Each structure stands twice: as structure tokens, then as C-alpha cells.
Amino acid sequence: MLFNSIEFLIFFPIVCLIYFIIPHKVRWAFLLVASYYFYMSWKASYAILLFGVTTVNYLGGLAIANSKNKETKKWILIFTIILSLSGLYYYKYFNFIGNTINAILNNLGIGISIPFLDLILPVGISFFTFQALSYTIDIYKGQMKCETNFGIFALFVSFFPQLVAGPIERATHLLPQFYEKHKWNDKNAVVGIRLMLWGMFKKVVVADRLALYVNAVFNNYQKHSGLSYILASILFAFQIYCDFSGYSDIARGSARVMGFDLMVNFRFPYLSENVTKFWQRNHISLTTWLKDYIYFPLVETNPTVLRMCVLIFITFLLSGLWHGADWTFVIWGIWQAVFLIYDILMRKKRKRMEKWFKERKLLNLSLGFRYLVTFAIICLGAIFFRASDVKQGWAILKGILSLKEGSLFIDAATLSYSFIALILLLFIEANNTIDFNDFIMRQKTLSKWSLYYIIIISIIVLGVFDNSAFIYFQF
Amino acid sequence: MKRLILKLVILTLLILSSDIIIGILLRPLISKIPNGRYFKIYHTFYKTDAEMVLIGSSACETGVNPEILEKQLGLTVWNGARGDQTLLYFEVATDKLLERKKVKTIVYFIESMRFETEIDISGISQLKPLTIVDKSLIPYISQGRKLEEYFLKSNLYACNSLSYYLIRPMLSSKSIDGGVETKGQKVKIGSKSSLLNYKYKGISFKGVYNQQKVDRYLMMFKKCRDQNVNVIVITLPRCNPPYELSRTIDTLKSMQDEGLFRYFDYYTDQRFIHKPEFFYDEGHFNKEGANYFSEILAKDLFDSCSLRK
């Protein structure tokens, strides 16, 4: 079920209504049923996978908590991780690894090949697997007590607002909320609806509109010029941001209406002065997951610069693979890692330069320049995120760097609408400190209502309603 | 709770009143917009009294000169083709023309791989603004999509994504679609440089044969026959026909034996193949090509169908 579908428009108010009518003690069971229904409306049989990951981590957590031996705890954790990731491996990485091995064997002249499996990737598998794993790892690290109620734990893994595309919640943050007694609260409802409205604007007005231009260039890249590649790459950066942060806003908003607080996943990352800052503001739930469960545990034992650089490289390589089982995502991950490592190596020099600019009262100018450079780096990396294969990615990157001949592809209707929507987006997002709600709270009544009006009219008049799925569903 | 409901009601009323105002403003305006997107469809659906109407996509809109057909056949002709349009537009145009009982012959221009692709619903959405003046268009546009059907009751949504095309004809002297002075033809001048430098590469089209589409075309032709309207089907030439095999053309050839329509295949006509001087781009004639092709078409229609008055 998509957030931007008629089904969700009916599903969500009904769920809310029932949720607040029924007694508190059965609410978790109702939300669990609603969440599984939400997931099963896409492909019912894959709920088994969701249930499997839930069961493995519930039992794993229980076993770790009940075990007194540190070594046993460690082996239970490893076993739980392997079992949890096996579904992810089978559905997401089996064909990728198989194809890579086949290519190597072919090059060596060995006539053995691993069969290709015709599989449909279960929606949100990477999200709920990582969310469930975070619980088990937290139990192992002694950061929380294990959850004994299987139903509540199953709800934590499958909670429908964030089930298929995050934010990847932590058990320490979300699990206790299922025990809280939520009463209908006007303030929560207003905040939630605002977030949902803004998320919908980002998805259907900006992301899906930009997709029309981006798809036209990327799907037919041979015919387009370097200038068109540049414009398409810039627009894709906004498309992916609006698509994913739009989903997160709707997820946070719908949870908030019911009284739940989900973590902020984006803080307009395109206003970042370097790639490190970008990753502190972009897909925060995944970045912090990777940082807390992979990077920090490995780096804290011996935090040398070399070790940090190697671990950043590994972490972002994994981040690339988390996004997709393709070499394009591997390249994208390496691209991010290279600039993050550069940031570490240049930290001292950067501080000296900042001081120099500050003394000459040029700090704002240098900041603006760094925003632009960071944005350019992200846009160039995004080419591989969008490209259907490595060949296409290289061709587009080469086309940009050599300014491939030809005129700029102008789809006047799409671009004119896109720019109207982008101006509104940039104005609001650049003035946010936390989220859209924070922006709205600072407005006077008239501007607040005008903004609601403009956003709703924009959704109706400029929205693309082709029921297109959110990009991050595929991960 | 009451405060929240009150706020939501106020906001809803604001949107609804805007919707009504937009409808009131647009209703008289749409039919008066200079030559452009809506005028062309409006004329084709509700105004034309032509005896022969051409229905197709941009290749037909640019590629057939109705004046030449009129001269040769002695019939009044209107080129009702529109860019980006396929089966769904053909269906609604057919129904609207048959409702008005003026048309005697409908000429459908079907592209070479049309039966080997999915039904494209994107093109038909360009008809949305016309739902402000004619709600009977809603089922054609929504194609069973409940959400779309519901939304199309809104005048604001009827302008969704298309206000650009509503405004553009009023701002630009250059028409977007063919106007009345050219009887619906959109004339293209010269040839694109990409066409002159084109290197021919024949490829086999690997589409999936779509029986549902074929059935819908047949149903449309039957409707015409039931009202004694002649049906002619044409596949236009291309400068460098990219597909070596076309199951669509074979199907059309075999289907014409059932007597529902006459079929003329010019897809690989040697008089046009690899002759960029007749083409604006790969699949669209320029002025010279359109005139030359229209002469040939008029002669063939005259010889084979006895269409002359």
C-alpha cells in the first residue's frame, strides 16, 4: 500500500479511529494486525519473511538476555545476525553475487554458472531487517532489556508508518511508546497532518514531477547532451531527496497523529558545507545505524586516522550495498567514502582556512562556495545511484566532464512546474531547523493558512498522480 | 477536537470555493483559447462538420495535408490527430464523432508496433481540462482508476499538470497544435540535423503482442461500421524504419480481410525510405514530405476506396 494511494487515504483514518476507540490493552494487537495488513496488501506471502525476521530476533534477544556467559551471548548474536541476513541475502544479493561469480568464471574460461533466480525483492526488507537487528545488538550491548511480549516486539518490527522505508527506528526509542497510553490529542493531530501534507507535496509535486525530466534523460541517455546530463543530475538529487524525505515526513506524520514519535530522518542535507555534514543530515536513521553498529564498535578500540579511513570506506561500501545489489551502488558508496576520508584528512587545514576567511570577513562567501562544491559532489555521485548500470553511469559522468555536444533538452511544461515547486521547497526547507512543523510554528496565522492553501492547491494542480512508488521501497 | 474539525472544515471550504471559481472562469475560456491543445480537441470532438476525419498521433498531425485530400477527393477533411495520442484518444474521438453523426469516413493512423506495447494512459490525461466543459469524458480519462474518476470531478484537478498548455497558446504566437487555417495539420519546416547524420541500424522490436489492444481497436471499428462510417487504417512511412519485423502490420493486413476496414501500409514505402528531404525528423514528415505523401494517399484512397464524392 502506497502512502500516495486511495487505499491509504481510506486505511489510515479507519486505523486511527479504531485505535482511539478501543481499550489501551488491545491497541498493540490492533496495530499489529493493521501493520501486517498494510504489508500484505503488497504481497501477502512475503509477510512470512517479516514474521521470520521478527521471530529470529525475538528469540535471539531472549536467549542473549537469559545467557550469563559472554561468549555464549556473542555466538547467539552472530547466529541471529546470520539468520536475519539470510533472507536479505537470498532475495537481494544472491543474483548479484551469482552474476559476479559467473562473470569471473567466464573470464577464466570455466564453464560453470550459478543459476539466476527469478525473485521479487520483498518491499522494505533492508529496513525491517536492520531495525530488528538493532534491537538484538542493543540487548547484547546491554543498552536495553529484552522485550518479553512477542506481539509488542512484532509491532516494533512491523509498525506500518515506517515499515517499508523507515526511518529505521531503535528499540530504545520506539518500543516503550507501545506501552504508553495515547489519548487523542489535537496538537499531535495537527502536527501529524502538517507533516503528512508536506511529505505529500514533496513526493507528488516535486519528486514525481522531477522524475519526468530525469527519466527522459537517463532512460534515453545516448541522445542527450552534457548540459542535459548536468540538469538531470541536479534535478535527480532533489528528486531522491523529496521522494525519500517525503516518505519519512508522511511516516512521521501518520505515527504522530496516533501519538507516536518517530525520529527525524532528514535535515535538508543540501545545505551542507562538506560531505561529512551532508551525512549527518541525510538519511539520519541509516547513517546512525551504520555508525553505531559498524563504525564505532570497530574504531573505538584503536582510533587512528588510518583505521578511521579504512572503516569509513568499509561502512560506506556496505551502505552502497544496503541501497542496492549492483555495482552502481558500490561505486556510489565508494564515492561517498572518498570524500568523507578527504574531510578527515583535511580537518586541520579546513580549520585554518576557516580562520583565514573569518579574519577577512569572507566566511559567508566561503560557506556558500563550500555548499555548492558539496552539492556538486553529491550530484555527481547520484548519477551512479540513478544509473541502470555502470556503463550508463560512466557514459553520463564522461558526458558531463567533457560537456558532450548538443543542446539542452528542455521539456518546458515539466521544467516550469518543477521550478515553481522547487522554489517553494527550497524556501521552506532552507528555513527549517527540524521539520516543516517547526517552520509553520514560526509563521503568523495568515501566512500559516496561506501556506496550507498554496500547498494543497499545488498538490491538486501540480501533483503527479500516477501512483508511482517511493524510490526507497526497492531497498 | 472541535477546533481541529472547524479548521479542517474552513480549509476544505476554501479549497472547494477555489475549485468552483476556477471552473466558472475556465468554462468560457477553454473554447476561446487561440489555436492550441484544447482548441484542437474541442474542435475535433464538438465542432467539426468534416466528412473525413483523420485520427492519429503527431506523425499524422504533421504528415497529412487535409487540403490536398479535399482537392483530390472532393470531401471536407479535418486532421484531428494529436501529439502523444494512441488508442484511448482514438476511442474517445471516435465516440464523439459518431455521436454528432456528421462524419462519413474516419482514417486511423496506427503506428508500426502499436499492438506490441502496453496501453498508454499518459497521453489521454491531456484531455483533463475538457472535463470542465464535458463530464462525459471522465470515464475515458480515468480508465477505471477510481481515484482518478473521483478527482476529475474537481475543476482544479482538471487543470492538473496542464495549465502550462492552457496559458502557452495565449502567450505565444506559435500554435502548439494544428489550427483551423491548416485544417488541423501542424506544418513542420526543414529537416533536423540529427536526421541528416543518421546511421541506419535495423533492430527487431521485442514487444509483447497485446491482444486486449487489438480487441479494443476492432470494437472501435465495429462501432463505426454499425453507423455506416467507413474506416480506413494507415501505417505511415518512416525515414529509417527501425524495426525489421512488425507483427502489428501483419495483424492489420490479416484483419482487413474481415471487411471492417481498408488498410494501407506505407511503413517501408520505397518512395520515402532513407529520404531525409521529406522528413522533419525520423518519424515526422516536413512540409514537402507531408504534401507528397498526401498526394499519394489521396490517389490510393480514390483508386481503392472510391471515396470521391
Check B147 against A449: CB less than 8 A apart: no
For B164, which of A6, A417, A453 is closest by C-beta distance? A417
- The residue segments making up the domain with residue A342 are 188-474
Nearest CA in chain A to B1: A186
Interface test with B, best of A410, A465, A467 (most B CBs within 10 A): A465
Check B161 against A417: CB less than 8 A apart: yes
b/e burial code for range B142-166 (CB count within 10 A of at least 16 → b): beebeebeebbebbbbbbbbbbebb
Interchain contact A413–B (C-beta under 8 A): yes
Least confident of A195-209, B146-160, B170-184: B170-184
Predicted confidence at residue A380, as pLDDT, reads 94
Predicted confidence at residue B302, as pLDDT, reads 85
Alpha-carbon distance values, B285 to B65, B236, B291 (Å): 11, 10, 9
- The reply to whether A167 and A194 lie within a common domain is no
Is residue A1 included in any domain, yes or no?
no
pLDDT < 70 stretches in chain A: 433, 466-475
C-alpha grid cell for residue A371? 555548499
Residues of A in contact with B154 (CB under 8 A): 460
- The reply to whether A435 and A327 lie within a common domain is yes
Residues of B in contact with A462 (CB under 8 A): 160-161
DSSP state of A164: T
- The reply to whether A380 and A423 lie within a common domain is yes
Is residue A252 included in any domain, yes or no?
yes
Mean pLDDT of B121-142: 86
Check B18 against A465: CB less than 8 A apart: no
For A461, which of B14, B150, B163 is closest by C-beta distance? B163
Question: Please, what sign has the CA dihedral across residues B153, B159, B161, B162?
Answer: positive
- The reply to whether A124 and A213 lie within a common domain is no
Residues of A in contact with B146 (CB under 8 A): 6
**What domains are there in chain B, each with its CATH number?**
49-121+177-305 (3.40.50.1110)
Greater pLDDT, B104 or B209? B104
Residues of B in contact with A456 (CB under 8 A): 11, 15
Do A124 and A473 meet the contact criterion of CB atoms below 8 Å apart? Answer: yes
CA distance, residue A449 to nearest chain B CA (Å): 8
Which H helix or E strand runs over B262?
strand B262-265
Is residue B148 predicted with pLDDT exceeding 90? Answer: no
Interchain contact A466–B (C-beta under 8 A): yes
- The reply to whether A164 and A281 lie within a common domain is no
Which of A118, A151, A182 lies at the terminal end of a domain, its last residue? A182
Nearest CA in chain B to A189: B4
Check A413 against B165: CB less than 8 A apart: yes
Check B157 against A6: CB less than 8 A apart: no
Is residue B202 predicted with pLDDT exceeding 60? Answer: no
Residues of B in contact with A463 (CB under 8 A): 160
Question: Could you identify the residue written with the cell 525519500?
Answer: A244
Q: Give the active site residue among A182, A224, A283, A323.
A: A323
Residues ≥6 apart with Cβ < 8 Å to B190: B280, B286
Predicted confidence at residue B84, as pLDDT, reads 82
- The reply to whether A201 and A178 lie within a common domain is no
Rounded Cα distance between B47 and B41, Å, is: 9
Residues of A in contact with B148 (CB under 8 A): 465
Check B163 against A452: CB less than 8 A apart: no
% of chain B with per-residue pLDDT over 70: 86
Mean pLDDT of B253-279: 87
Check A463 against B160: CB less than 8 A apart: yes
Nearest CA in chain B to A464: B161
Rounded Cα distance between B153 and B132, Å, is: 8
Is residue B36 predicted with pLDDT exceeding 70? Answer: no
| Alpha-helix residue ranges (DSSP H) falling in A184-267 | 186-200, 208-218, 226-257
- The reply to whether A216 and A106 lie within a common domain is no
C-alpha grid cell for residue A387? 544509473
Predicted confidence at residue A348, as pLDDT, reads 85
Nearest CA in chain B to A411: B164
Say what the alpha-carbon torsion angle A271, A235, B120, B132 is, to the nearest 10 degrees.
Answer: 70
Interchain contact A19–B (C-beta under 8 A): no
Question: Could you identify the residue written with the cell 558539496?
Answer: A374
- Give chain B's length: 309
Give residue ranges of B with CB < 8 Å to any A CB: 1, 3-4, 7, 11, 14-15, 18, 122, 146-148, 150-151, 154, 156-157, 159-165, 168
CB pairs under 8 A between A and B: 53
Is residue B52 predicted with pLDDT exceeding 90? Answer: yes
- The reply to whether A290 and A416 lie within a common domain is yes
Check A461 against B14: CB less than 8 A apart: no
CA distance, residue B11 to nearest chain A CA (Å): 7
How many domains would you assign to chain A? Answer: 2
Number of Cβ atoms within 10 Å of the Cβ of A265: 26
CA distance, residue B99 to nearest chain A CA (Å): 31
CA distance, residue B213 to nearest chain A CA (Å): 21
The average confidence (pLDDT) of chain B is 84
- A323 as an active site residue: the answer is yes
Check B147 against A465: CB less than 8 A apart: yes
- The reply to whether A169 and A200 lie within a common domain is no
Rounded Cα distance between B179 and A217, Å, is: 31
A130 burial class (0-12, 13-18, 19+ CB within 10 angstroms)?
A: buried
Residues of A in contact with B1 (CB under 8 A): 184, 186
Rounded Cα distance between A110 and A175, Å, is: 52
Which of A182, A201, A220 lies at the terminal end of a domain, its last residue? A182
For A412, which of B159, B163, B164 is closest by C-beta distance? B164
Is residue B203 predicted with pLDDT exceeding 70? Answer: no
Which of A157, A182, A207 lies at the terminal end of a domain, its last residue? A182
Is residue A400 included in any domain, yes or no?
yes
Interchain contact A464–B (C-beta under 8 A): yes
Residues of A in contact with B11 (CB under 8 A): 449, 452-453, 456
Is residue A177 included in any domain, yes or no?
yes
Is residue A338 included in any domain, yes or no?
yes
Interface test with A, best of B147, B149, B201 (most A CBs within 10 A): B147
Residues of B in contact with A190 (CB under 8 A): 4, 7
C-alpha grid cell for residue B85? 495520442
Check A465 against B148: CB less than 8 A apart: yes
Q: Output phi, psi for A392, to 5 deg.
A: -65, -40
Number of Cβ atoms within 10 Å of the Cβ of A223: 12
- The reply to whether A138 and A244 lie within a common domain is no
- The reply to whether A165 and A265 lie within a common domain is no
Predicted confidence at residue B200, as pLDDT, reads 55
Predicted confidence at residue A110, as pLDDT, reads 82
For A456, which of B3, B15, B147 is closest by C-beta distance? B15
Least confident of A318-332, B4-18, B35-49, B208-222: B35-49
- The reply to whether A105 and A169 lie within a common domain is yes
Rounded Cα distance between A230 and A226, Å, is: 6
Interface test with A, best of B4, B12, B17 (most A CBs within 10 A): B4
Greater pLDDT, B28 or A398? A398
Residues of B in contact with A416 (CB under 8 A): 164
Predicted confidence at residue B201, as pLDDT, reads 57
The model's pLDDT over B79-104, given as tens digits with 9 standing for 90+, comes to 999 888 889 999 999 999 999 889 99
Predicted confidence at residue A254, as pLDDT, reads 95
